[in-house]
Chain A
Amino acid sequence: MFLQFIINGLVVGSAYALIAVGHTMIFGMMKIVNFAHGELYMLGAFFTFTFVSYILQLNYFLALAIAMVLIILFAALTERTMISKLVGKDIMTTTLITIGFSIFLQNIVQAVWGANPRSLPHPFRKEPLEIAGIFITVPRLLIIVISIVVIILLHLLIQKTKLGKAFRATFQNRDSALLAGINVKFIYTLSYSLGSFLAALAGGLLGMIYIIEPTMGALAVGKAFTIVIVAGKRSYLGAIGVGYGLGLIESLGAGYISSEYKDAFAFVILIIVLLLKPEGLFGKLRSQK
């Protein structure tokens, strides 16, 4: 039972971590609260679905790859034409515009694909694997593994490459980065695309085990936002940790305490953290200039 809850929590936590880490990148880098972030999660699922079921009827992995390339292009285009114009604007402006964009995307998807819930076809067997009394299906196992691999790759990219150095520099201080000759505009586009890709990947993966419908993103991003705040607005490692942690707490809490309060756990933690450590668990207090 305990191990089953842990595995359940890891699946949910993978999604939280992928969505939240992208959210943190955009938030920390560009200081923009992107309310349309969940829609990228939703688009990731719908794009993959389209390539699996309609256009070309590709193999799931090929479809996922093409969908991700398209998402990155789409995100880069949105960043250049709209999001980049919001850098440095006040919070009301960015909030209104990204909320508007999120409503727009939801309704476009509803108009094109329809409101009926769908499942994303995948080639794996439906019967679960039973390992030491724990039931897990191949797609679920794949979600856990792929998420961890992607998160490690992301960490390597940020810590070990030159590009990563530029990322970190911009993350820490935009003006100094600019003075050091870093193309900050390019870093913005890249980080927005990368953040969007992570959310879309979560959508493309989780579409296999859940059901995809136009409002799935709006619901997912609420939790992701909580995670970003709890972790500290500028800590992507924190977002990953808190993402997995929340998945596990929800699963264990619902399993051993009460399923009625499953969603309350996240918000109770949020309130406690905001009371005791308002800068977030992994955040550093910075003076407001």
Chain B
Amino acid sequence: MVRLDANNILLKRTGGIEILLFVLVCSVLGTVYLLIGGVSMKGKRVSLFTIALFFLLIPLATFAAGTQEPAGPIKIGVIQPLTGPIAFDGQSAVKGAELAAKEINAAGGILGGRMIELVVEDGACVPAQSVSAAEKLITKDGVVAIAGAFCSSSTGAVMPIAKANGVPHVTGISTSPTLTEQGNEYFFRAVGTSELFAKAFAKALKEQLKINRIAYLAVNDDWGRGSTKAFSEAFASLGGVNLTTEIFGMNDTDYYTYLSKIKSLNPDGLYIVGNTANAAMITNQLRELGLTCAVFGEGAWTSDNYLNLTGTNSNGVYGVIEYLYTVDTEMNKKFVKHFQETYSGATPDKYSASLYQVIYIIAQAIDRAGSTDPAKIQQALKKTNYVGLSGPMMFSPTKNQAYGFNMYMARIENGKPVLALSAPLENPEK
């Protein structure tokens, strides 16, 4: 992609000869234009219009001078919520991304020695703000790819912007099934969808844990609604009974009403979709209300922060997760060790892990593309075969949906998540 931004290129390239060349080309083009203009407008004063056109030529000249690749760092945009109720999860994700960038640069960078640079923007999980962040990243920072937007609604809003500008866009967090159904070839999802989780685990719940009657409590957004819909369909097809679906607001703090209602239906299992703060409050309140059924949570249900906030209340809770720091793969052991060294002993959660992987996937794609041309990166991303923290990761041929890696369900015992079930995600387009 060619960006007509003189400042951008001038700042990047400080070579004297190049600047001289640039000025020369500008002056020649400008003079030629003024001469032609002068002749045709015999005797008239050079109008403002002509001067304006002259300045318009400068960036064109820059383009002519700048066809050669700039040798500065390669910028990758990251959009995550850094403020608002899920700021903590977003910051966690950014930590993972920064660790990946640090490792890649320490190992000599990509494209034969060029460093990568992350440009992090706050999308706040608000679609409008995420869109402005994406526009800023593409037009002002000139990123070659975008990672993120966290909440499915925000990711969905960023997708058309990335597509219109021809910039590849990879999410490692948004799981709403609809995102990969839009035929947007610039969008890649490096995480399982709610549908794929549902298929993998509805069966396990029904057959291994003998859950027959289930209630749902989900956050009011694409993720919460999509997840419960997919799960309840899969569960019903196996002969299970769906009792009720309660929807709460992301900013809710009191869940007694929802939980009282669910308790009165006396379910075997409760499937909850929500992030750290919601998850912790729900867990504490459901214990206070004396709910004794099995609890399954989708979201950040095994993070350190969740465990701290819930104490003994979370014992026995199952977390349906993409990632667990105790996963036993070579890659993951290295990652956890490095993460703990970098962030004073904190264990990585699924958000850190997913953005860590996304940055690697993008960096490797740029390397394979052999260029920073976003269109070539997009082609290279399609051929991803990344060995990730929880197994191999590939993208399906038309929807760009990742598969191949393992999904987990952990049970919290004595304040620690213990691996209870795992299932590999199948290629959804097989």
Contact = CB atoms under 8 A, between A and B. Distances in A.
A254 B262 CA distance: 12
25 contacts: A8-B254, A8-B257, A9-B257, A12-B254, A106-B83, A107-B83, A115-B83, A115-B91, A117-B280, A119-B280, A126-B288, A206-B253, A211-B253, A211-B277, A211-B280, A213-B87, A213-B88, A213-B277, A215-B85, A216-B253, A255-B260, A259-B246, A262-B248, A262-B257, A263-B249
Contacts of B289: 128, 135
A214 B87 CA distance: 10
Interface residues of A, number: 39
Contacts of B276: 117
Nearest to A114: B88
B: contact size bracket: 35 or more
B57 interface: no
A203 to B, nearest CB: 11
A216 B281 CA distance: 13
Interface of B: 82-85, 87-88, 91, 220, 246-249, 251-254, 256-258, 260-261, 264, 276-277, 280-281, 284-285, 287-290, 305, 309, 312-313
A130 interface: yes
- Closest 10 pairs between A and B when the two form their complex, measured CB to CB: A115-B87, A8-B256, A210-B253, A117-B277, A116-B88, A219-B251, A259-B246, A254-B257, A260-B247, A4-B260
Contacts of B83: 106-107, 110, 115, 215
A263 B246 CA distance: 13
A115 B249 contact: no
A117 B86 CA distance: 9
Contacts of A7: 256
Contacts of A262: 248-249, 252, 257
A131 B220 CA distance: 32
B247 A259 contact: yes
Nearest to A135: B289
Nearest to B264: A1
Contact of B281 (A12, A210, A250): A210
Most chain A beta carbons < 10 A, residue from B247, B277, B305: B277
A194 interface: no
A11 interface: yes
Contacts of A107: 83
A244 to B, nearest CB: 14
Contacts of A197: none
A31 B88 CA distance: 37
A11 B256 contact: yes
A211 B264 contact: no
Interface in A208-253: 209-211, 213-216, 219, 250-251
Nearest to A118: B309
B277 A5 contact: no
Given A119-B309, A259-B248, A5 B257 contact: yes
Nearest to A8: B256
A137 interface: yes
B249 A130 contact: no
A59 to B, nearest CB: 20
Nearest to B252: A262
Contacts of A1: 260-261, 264
A210 to B, nearest CB: 4
Interface in A4-40: 4-5, 7-9, 11-12
Contact of A255 (B252, B261, B309): B261
B257 A259 contact: yes
Contact of B305 (A4, A5, A116, A251): A116
A81 B287 CA distance: 46
Interface in A141-159: none
A251 B280 contact: no
Nearest to A107: B83
Given A117-B276, A211-B281, A8 B309 contact: no
Contacts of B285: 209
Interface in A50-75: none
A251 B290 contact: no
A11 B260 CA distance: 14
A106 to B, nearest CB: 8
A166 to B, nearest CB: 37
B85 A8 contact: no
A216 B264 CA distance: 30
Contacts of A115: 82-83, 87-88, 91
A206 B276 CA distance: 18
Contacts of A4: 256, 260
A215 B312 CA distance: 26
A213 B86 CA distance: 10
Contacts of B258: 254, 259
Nearest to B304: A116
B290 A130 contact: yes
A110 B91 CA distance: 12
A254 B255 CA distance: 10
A260 B254 contact: no
Given A11-B254, A117-B309, 12 more contacts: A9-B257, A106-B83, A117-B85, A117-B88, A126-B312, A135-B289, A210-B254, A210-B281, A211-B280, A213-B85, A250-B257, A262-B257
B126 to A, nearest CB: 12
A216 B254 CA distance: 12
